Each structure stands twice: as structure tokens, then as C-alpha cells.
Amino acid sequence: MMDNFTPNRFVDELNQAGIPEEFHGWLSAHGVGALVVKMGIRFTELSAERTVATMPVEGNTQVAGILHGGAHVVLAETLGSFAASLHAGQDRHAVGIEVGATHHRSVAAGTVTGTCTAIHLGGTLATHEIVITDEKGRRLSTARITNMIRDNRPQRTDGPGGAPAD
């Protein structure tokens, strides 16, 4: 059962994902997301300009025993989306509108690192390049993500029973 009422119910999840305490207030209502937890993604740097995270190969492989191409994209999109959200700020949000990746080499064990670097941080769009490397620093994939920056909708409370209405 999901608990939607306990303040800071995701504090353990945020700590395990390496989220610095300065971002806990912002992320405490939603956590880092179930897929980030399942994939074992752990942040080591977090800013709009540069975000870095690691992910284990084990548990994220395809049938041939190598890191799944989709896992590369999950790591890349996670990094780009977090960086774009930081750029957007708490009164706005980022919505992914395009992501693409090129896979250069495979990896069958260890930990991969994704380094996300801003290409463009504008008022309505944020574009980031993500390079994923193995433990030897070899480039495994290169991805690019563009997020649209949107204003948050005001919360309405005129739904049935005073609940938020959509």
C-alpha cells in the first residue's frame, strides 16, 4: 500500500540513491522513482549543468549477459531529467520530449557511470548529453535528451469532497 500522507516518507530511498540532503525537501514527496530504485542508480553529483550517477551491470542485463541497451537509456534519461528539473526549479517541471542513444561497446560486469552535461539550458527547453562509461573509462554509449520546461499547474481544490480536480 502506498502511503501518501507521511512527510518525508522517501528519506531512506533518497539517501540510498545518493541524493544530497539539500534536495530532500524538493524530492521528499515523490522520491527518486521506482525504476531508479530497481536499476540501482546512485547519484554522485547533482546540478543542472552536470549530473553524474552510477549503475550496476548485474541485474540490468539482457539475455546475452551484457548491459541491456534500454538500461543505458534509463540511466541517460534519469540523469537528463533530474538535471533539467534542477534547471526548471521548484515552481516549474521538466517533461522529456526527445531521447536518443548510440551504443558503442558492450559491458558484462561491474558498474557503469553516466555523466550528464548541459548543452542548452533555456527558458523553455533543456538539452543534455549523457556519456556512459565502464570502470576503465571506456565510452559505452552516448545519449542526448531534450526536456520541455513547463510551469506547474496551480492545485485546484474544487473537486468532489474538496479533493484536487483535474
Note whether 11 and 50 are within 8 A (CB): no
Note whether 52 and 45 are within 8 A (CB): yes
Give the catalytic positions in this structure.
77
- Count the neighbouring beta carbons within 10 Å of the beta carbon of residue 28: 17
Note whether 106 and 65 are within 8 A (CB): no
Q: Is 103 exposed, middle or buried (0-12, 13-18, 19+ CB in 10 A)?
A: middle
Contacts of 14 (CB under 8 A, 6+ apart): 23, 24, 27, 28, 31, 32
Note whether 135 and 111 are within 8 A (CB): yes
